[in-house]
A = this chain, B = another copy of it.
């Protein structure tokens, strides 16, 4: 009987646990879920006798090491900073490890040790990163069989499903709210456009968006991610003249979000004085010029050049940022206060449904001498507020990969990302059974792509 050990049972875990719990019967596995909070996990495994939940603090080395020592495979759904703790146990006991997180520098530094231990450590096995790599590499590899890839754009977004996106931003948090608040602050955006390196500072990221249409789901807008150039290496795309990665929102979100950027309330680098006793309104006012009589609303409109009929004030007002509600957070940053304010409006309710959208665009010269544009798009809808589209798309690739490893269908060792055919092919195939299926479309290009200004 093989044992799968899962660290963490947060919001990315339900679909993963459900998948493995079902498979545990078919393949006679034992599933152990280790977490400090056991209530939810116990609910997910109710009725599955091969599954159990243990109350475990990840910082307790003894119990952690014992659990890993008894496992045949470890999945870590913990925040990225804990993965190296888990990895050290995996190295000791020579147990394979899968995570849905970006491969950290700390992990990369341990590549030698991973190779010596002869284990597999596979990161970026969720949605973004994860399904984005797999679905993009599938098309890239196909194109390259007999063509030349010249441009690649890729966008992903965690949004609300149609019918559940009625607030003026058409947005709620379906993932870590903090990452939404500090998005764009990791450093200047760098990408490649028709052979030219292009840079976008934080102050312009949310004003240089691209419009994207997805059949049956309407229009989205995408803002640039910081890391496009990293993907030249990651995907082996040297020689491609355009590479651009971004994040999807509904149209109008970015323009309104930019108001927060311009105002300065997304800043995570200093402590706001008296934040505990301040109201939301006073917080906003602390970023506006002093005036003894003018309203905060009017000062904001003047300062950020907001037209009365732009819809922007409606978006801001819907968040209660002008209310006299007390913040109540001690010694904290503007970004954390903004997150606190946004959570009041943007937390998913029990009957809310989310949506994951992914969209790739490829340009290539084919062996017939012609140029083509290929798009590959994915829309996944959530089932409910626990089996969200986000949880499904993060958890299922992890679960399928676990199955492939334990059933010895993949015998890879070393430190990897899911960019190899032996990984993406079986996973993308099985994902289709869960409705996670890309739609592809090919259009011959009459225009020369290089002449198209796209954003």
**Residues of chain A at the chain B interface (Cβ within 8 Å):** 187-188, 190, 193-194, 196-204, 208, 261-264, 267, 269-270, 272-274, 285-292, 294, 303, 334, 450-455
With contact pairs A194-B290, A270-B187 given, residues A264 and B199 touching in the complex (Cβ less than 8 Å): yes
Cα distance A100–B27 in the bound complex, in angstroms: 75
Using Cβ atoms and an 8 Å threshold, which residues of chain B touch A286? 196-199
Chain B min CB distance to A25 (Å) = 52
Interface contact B287-A200, CB-CB below 8 Å = yes
Among residues of B, the one whose C-beta sits closest to the C-beta of A273 is B197
With contact pairs A187-B270, A196-B290 given, residues A201 and B263 touching in the complex (Cβ less than 8 Å): yes
Using Cβ atoms and an 8 Å threshold, which residues of chain B touch A450? 292
Chain B min CB distance to A305 (Å) = 9
Chain A binding surface SS class: loop
Interface contact B292-A201, CB-CB below 8 Å = no
Interface contact A455-B289, CB-CB below 8 Å = yes
Chain B min CB distance to A41 (Å) = 41
Interface contact A264-B197, CB-CB below 8 Å = no
Using Cβ atoms and an 8 Å threshold, which residues of chain B touch A269? 187-188
Chain B min CB distance to A166 (Å) = 31
Chain B min CB distance to A244 (Å) = 10
Using Cβ atoms and an 8 Å threshold, which residues of chain B touch A187? 269-270
Among residues of B, the one whose C-beta sits closest to the C-beta of A294 is B453
With contact pairs A187-B270, A290-B453, A292-B451 given, residues A264 and B203 touching in the complex (Cβ less than 8 Å): yes
Chain B min CB distance to A334 (Å) = 7
How many copies of this chain are found per oligomer?
2
The 3 lowest CB-CB distance pairs between A and B, nearest first, are: A201-B264, A291-B453, A193-B290
Using Cβ atoms and an 8 Å threshold, which residues of chain B touch A199? 264, 267, 270, 272, 286-287, 334
Using Cβ atoms and an 8 Å threshold, which residues of chain B touch A201? 262-264, 267, 287
Using Cβ atoms and an 8 Å threshold, which residues of chain B touch A204? 262-264, 303
Using Cβ atoms and an 8 Å threshold, which residues of chain B touch A264? 188, 199-201, 203-204
Using Cβ atoms and an 8 Å threshold, which residues of chain B touch A274? 197
Interface contact B453-A262, CB-CB below 8 Å = no
Interface contact B453-A289, CB-CB below 8 Å = yes
Among residues of B, the one whose C-beta sits closest to the C-beta of A292 is B451
Among residues of B, the one whose C-beta sits closest to the C-beta of A305 is B305
Chain B min CB distance to A300 (Å) = 12
Chain B min CB distance to A98 (Å) = 32
Using Cβ atoms and an 8 Å threshold, which residues of chain B touch A190? 270
Using Cβ atoms and an 8 Å threshold, which residues of chain B touch A261? 203
Chain B min CB distance to A376 (Å) = 23
Extra contacts besides A188-B270, A199-B272, A204-B264 (10): CB < 8 Å: A188-B264, A188-B269, A196-B290, A197-B272, A199-B270, A200-B264, A201-B262, A201-B263, A203-B262, A289-B453
Using Cβ atoms and an 8 Å threshold, which residues of chain B touch A287? 198-201
Using Cβ atoms and an 8 Å threshold, which residues of chain B touch A262? 201, 203-204
Interface contact A267-B188, CB-CB below 8 Å = yes
Interface contact B196-A285, CB-CB below 8 Å = yes
Residue picked from A201, A263, A288, most chain B C-beta under 10 Å: A201
Cα distance A331–B110 in the bound complex, in angstroms: 29
Using Cβ atoms and an 8 Å threshold, which residues of chain B touch A292? 194, 450-453
Cα distance A134–B291 in the bound complex, in angstroms: 31
With contact pairs A203-B264, A264-B203 given, residues A198 and B290 touching in the complex (Cβ less than 8 Å): yes
Chain B min CB distance to A213 (Å) = 20
Cα distance A269–B187 in the bound complex, in angstroms: 7
Among residues of B, the one whose C-beta sits closest to the C-beta of A270 is B188
